[in-house]
């Protein structure tokens, strides 16, 4: 099964995110992933953005590992 994966690295904007728009336009299921790096977890702005929802009410997967450990 094919899917579109959108990996949010540092910026969780959805309203003007071209990669997200292209994924939605692809007509494939969209998976949004945000990797919460341990050195950033203490920052309130990152934590508050995790509760943000896109206009399409998509869910966001939150992963708590180092990016180098992410499966390819």
Query: 25: Cβ–Cβ under 8 A, 6 or more apart, which residues?
Result: none
- What does the alpha-carbon distance between residue 70 and residue 17 come to, in Å, rounded to a whole number? 22
- What does the alpha-carbon distance between residue 9 and residue 36 come to, in Å, rounded to a whole number? 8
Total domains in the fold of the chain:
1
Pairing of strands 30-35, 4-8: parallel
The reported pLDDT for the residue numbered 18 is: 92
Tokens of 61: 């997967």
**pTM, 2 dp:** 0.54
Range of the domain at 31: 4-69
Here the CATH number for the domain that contains residue 8 is 3.40.50.620
**Each residue's pLDDT tens digit, 38-61:** 666 665 555 555 555 443 455 666
The reported pLDDT for the residue numbered 22 is: 94
């Amino acid at each position: 099964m094919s899917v579109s994966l959108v990996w949010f690295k540092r910026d969780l904007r959805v309203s003007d995110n071209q990669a997200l728009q292209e994924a939605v336009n692809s007509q494939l299921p969209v998976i949004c992933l945000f990797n919460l790096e341990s050195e950033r977890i203490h920052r309130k702005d990152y934590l508050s953005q995790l509760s943000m929802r896109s206009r399409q009410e998509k869910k966001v997967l939150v992963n708590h590992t180092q990016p180098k450990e992410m499966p390819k």
